[in-house]
Amino acid sequence: MINLVRLFAEIALLRRGPQDLPASPVLLTLTALGYLAVNALARLLMPAGQDAWPMQLLVELLFTLGWYAVLLRIVNRPERFLQTATAIFGYQALLALPIVAAIWLVQQFDKDSPWMLPALVIALVLVIWLIAAGAHILKAALEWSMPAAVAMIILQMIAGELLLIAIFSPMT
């Protein structure tokens, strides 16, 4: 288990890639469950927010699985789905708690506070890291250039957020 966490950390640090993971449905399932558990814990640690977070988290998970299944089929590399999705969930689970901590930190300061800028910089660095690590995985899985992989990760993030807004935002 420690070796697996270490491997996900190396993927998050851009030292390894999805090709270094076994193509295992069991590992994907366990990693997705770990992703759910870490993100559920992270959302429980945040100040009271939305009541629908368990459903939102499930939609995020299913959207991510669907996104990569369709994307890899479109580029004619469906055999890479297990490793790619496992890598995506693994590195995102590792970065979930630091990202939640950064969001919490930003929420602690008024916009006029001198500490707001450092808090925002920390959050921005983590978002850039999230994008870079995801693009690193996609670059290896799709054999695309890094700019194309970055664009695809950003597109996935936007599409996921739009889906959550469409499903969970109240109609006015």
Render pLDDT for 48-76 as a digit per residue (tens, 0 to 9).
666 778 899 999 999 999 999 999 999 99
Q: What is the pLDDT of residues 121-169, one digit of tens each?
A: 999 999 999 999 999 999 999 999 999 999 999 999 999 999 999 998 8
> pLDDT tens-digit profile of 25-39?
999 999 999 999 999
pTM, rounded to two decimals: 0.90
Residue 145 near residue 139, CB atoms below 8 Å: yes
Q: What does the pLDDT look like over 100-111, one tens digit per residue?
A: 888 888 888 888
Please report the pLDDT score of residue 50 as a whole number.
62
Burial 122-157 (b: 16+ CB within 10 A, else e): bbeebeebbbbbbbbbbbbbbebeeeebbebbeebe
Environment class of residue 161 by beta-carbon count within 10 Å: exposed (0-12), middle (13-18) or buried (19+)? exposed
Residues 6+ apart with CB under 8 A from 63: 159, 160, 163
**Residue owning tokens 């970055």:** 150
Please report the pLDDT score of residue 111 as a whole number. 85
Using only the alpha carbons of the chain, give its radius of gyration: 16
Query: CA 74 to CA 105: how far, in whole Å?
Result: 40
- 23: phi then psi, degrees, rounded to nearest 5: -85, 85
